[in-house]
Structure 1
Amino acid sequence: MQERRFLSYHPSDRFSDHSLIFMEDKRIIAVLPAAVIEQEDKRILVSHPGASHGGLIVKSSLGTKKCLELVSALIEYCATAGFDYIRLKPVPKVYHKELSDQLDFALRFSGFRLEYTELATVLELKKGEGSFAKRVMSGTAFRNYQKALKSGLSVVEDADINDFWPILEHKLKLNHNAKPAHTLDEIRHLKTLYPDRIKLFAAYEGVTPVAGVLAFLLNDRVINCFYIAHHDGFQHKRPLNLIFGHMMEWGLKNGFSYLDFGISTEAKGSIVNTGLFHFKEGYGGHGLLRECYLYEINNRQ
């Protein structure tokens, strides 16, 4: 999601790109996919709005001293370039290949404060004895999964996005009076750029699409459920239970560590959709923080 190839699908006039590369001894030690926004007459450098999260991207081997120097260099650059604030949304921990908090420490030590927190739901994929779905799902979710297995529905692992899009658009319009964050053409374009990293897991009754989960495989660790929707007329057959059970087994088989169901908060974490949390937690998911940090240039010491 941080790759230039991914971010470039956005129209050139959508964001004012201001991505940064940090060098030391002619080596790249960090990158910051970023953009400039104007807010209440303030100039803000932000983690690239074209991605759900980002922040400074470094190797986990970058030591604490270097992380402190890196953050200091970022602050000095932004001060010189006339920015008023820096807003960063670091990549959540489950996406990291190794446990590494020295960059988070460097941000806080240098004066970045937590502006807001969102909460996602993730499921750790662990191999074990017996049915994985039975081990992690709540009693109700697993019974509905068993019901779905007997319903005559089938799951296609890399289904046609055209089949799913009308269901998604209708569901978002009905429930939230909203539209998908991407257009269908944008998703099609991304699919051509990343044919193996964007997958639609869809449930069908015969040839009729009834539900789907559009997943982004952002790395080799996490399956990110970006869009989730079902046709209300087939809800009694529990198609999403069938899809999520299938995705769990697919993830285990293909070596993934987590299934990320996405956030269930709105308005920068100030609105909590408890019903949606309950739904996702029924599949065995647990809360994962998505944090946003803010630095005020004028307050620097």
Structure 2
Amino acid sequence: MKEFSVRQYETKDYAVWNAFIEEAKNATFLFHRDFMEYHNDRFTDYSLLVFKEGKLVGLLPANTSGNEIHSHQGLTYGGLVYKENLKLAAVIAVFSEVLRFLHENGFPKLHCKTIPGIYHQKPAEELLYALFLAEAKLTRRDSLAVIDMNKGFSISKGRMEGVNKGAKKNLTIKETTDFEAFWQHILLPNLDKKHKAKPVHSLEEIQLLHSRFPKNIRQFNVYSGQEIVAGATVFESSQVAHMQYISAGENKNELGSLDFLFHHLLCAVFEKKLFFDFGISNENQGKKLNNGLSFWKESFGAGTMVQDFYEVTTSNFHLLETIIL
């Protein structure tokens, strides 16, 4: 008899899923069903639950795309979610059963995006080892600009010049629950002009998510008089302040608006957070680096961490069955 069993998520699992997320050592509010399902019209959910003797021991937030399975494509990170009491050998066995389940249900590939270590409550890289054992292929690597707030940071002279400009221009910073001004006057016009793109979240979606997670999704705007000139949307988890959106008007260099804002966020708002995550500066699936954006983030004292993406053949579950000595 197999030690672990796997089945697909059902609506009846809503409460038990969310309760597990609250206690997992490598989960954030993004894995709560109220976050995952805000865009369920765009993704066909195929999340999995793993049990041992009837007790839930692991989750895989996921969706289907054709005949392949992805760590949920509507989330920034993913992979297996588990509690501290699930040890390395057990995680390997759980992942083997997940792969077996997917293989037996006609899915030849699993595309797995990892959770950067800064989001772990405790060390939780067991899945990375299991992916290695399953001969997973690294398909993408993004670079995150991160500040370890406990180690301190040094803001460059150039950034401080911008901070001082903002002070001299009498800029003001306000936290607000109104996302519309930033979306309509700053974020949408900038993305359209520079990239012919739209933000991942529409205004209506970010408003909905904020209503569900008011303590985790925060908006900070910069004003010159009554005019909004810059802003940042922050996804805050227990350990990390993650900059989901950063944008400013064309006069940002003249005003120093972004430098002024981020000095405030680092030194006054999130100074007690463990990590400050500026996010990625990559394009083209991690193969291009926006050097100007990366340099700006590094000028605040950020260093580089990576997030890896893997492709694993589900029939390789058998590789994990004989590795325990």
Question: Shared fold (TM-score greater than 0.5)?
Answer: yes
CA distance in 2, matches of 1:258, 1:24: 34
**1:109-148 C-alpha deviation (Å, 9 max, x unpaired):** 12222222111111121376xxxxxx52112112222222
Mapped contact 2:59–2:80 kept (Cα < 8 A): yes
Match of 2:267 in 1: 249
Residue 145 of structure 1: which of 163, 168, 173 is its match?
Answer: 163
User: SS at 2:296's partner residue?
Assistant: helix
Residue 263, structure 1, aligned to residue 280, structure 2:
yes
Mapped contact 1:223–1:251 kept (Cα < 8 A): no
CA distance in 2, matches of 1:61, 1:267: 38
Residue 89 of structure 2: which of 47, 62, 65 is its match?
Answer: 65
Mapped contact 1:145–1:242 kept (Cα < 8 A): yes
Residue 303 of structure 2: which of 282, 286, 296 is its match?
Answer: 286
Q: Which amino acid aligns with 1:249?
A: C
Match of 1:231 in 2: 249
Gaps spanning 5+ residues in structure 2: where? Answer: 1-29, 319-325
Residue 55 of structure 2: which of 27, 30, 39 is its match?
Answer: 27
Match of 1:8 in 2: 37
Structure 1 residue 56 displacement after superposition: 0.7
Q: Which amino acid aligns with 2:206?
A: I
From the superposition, tell whether residues 60 and 293 of structure 1 become closer, same or farther in structure 2 (CA, over 3 Å).
Answer: farther
Q: Which amino acid aligns with 1:242?
A: F
Mapped contact 1:68–1:110 kept (Cα < 8 A): no
Mapped contact 1:147–1:237 kept (Cα < 8 A): yes
Structure 1 residue 102 displacement after superposition: 2.2
CA distance in 2, matches of 1:259, 1:169: 24
Residue 37, structure 1, aligned to residue 65, structure 2:
yes
CA distance in 2, matches of 1:108, 1:114: 10
Match of 2:190 in 1: 171
TM-score normalised over the length of structure 1: 0.91
CA distance in 1, matches of 2:268, 2:32: 25
Q: Which amino acid aligns with 2:196?
A: N
Structure 1 residue 269 displacement after superposition: 0.8
CA distance in 2, matches of 1:145, 1:233: 14
CA distance in 2, matches of 1:84, 1:127: 44
Structure 1 residue 60 displacement after superposition: 3.4
CA distance in 2, matches of 1:264, 1:197: 23
Q: Which amino acid aligns with 2:294?
A: F
Mapped contact 2:173–2:223 kept (Cα < 8 A): yes
Structure 1 runs of 4+ with >4 Å offset? 298-301
Gaps spanning 5+ residues in structure 1: where? Answer: 129-134
Structure 1 residue 158 displacement after superposition: 2.8
Mapped contact 1:67–1:102 kept (Cα < 8 A): yes
CA distance in 2, matches of 1:268, 1:34: 19
From the superposition, tell whether residues 127 and 102 of structure 1 become closer, same or farther in structure 2 (CA, over 3 Å).
Answer: closer
Structure 1 residue 26 displacement after superposition: 2.1
Structure 1 residue 289 displacement after superposition: 0.5
Residue 158, structure 1, aligned to residue 140, structure 2:
no
Match of 1:131 in 2: none
Q: C-alpha root-mean-square deviation of aligned residues, in Å? A: 1.6
Match of 2:26 in 1: none
Residue 276, structure 1, aligned to residue 304, structure 2:
no
Residue 111 of structure 1: which of 125, 135, 143 is its match?
Answer: 135
User: SS at 2:140's partner residue?
Assistant: strand
Mapped contact 2:99–2:316 kept (Cα < 8 A): no
Alignment of 1:173-252 (within 5 A): 173-217=192-236, 219-252=237-270
Q: Which amino acid aligns with 2:262?
A: F
CA distance in 2, matches of 1:299, 1:126: 41
Q: Give the count of matched residue pairs.
A: 288
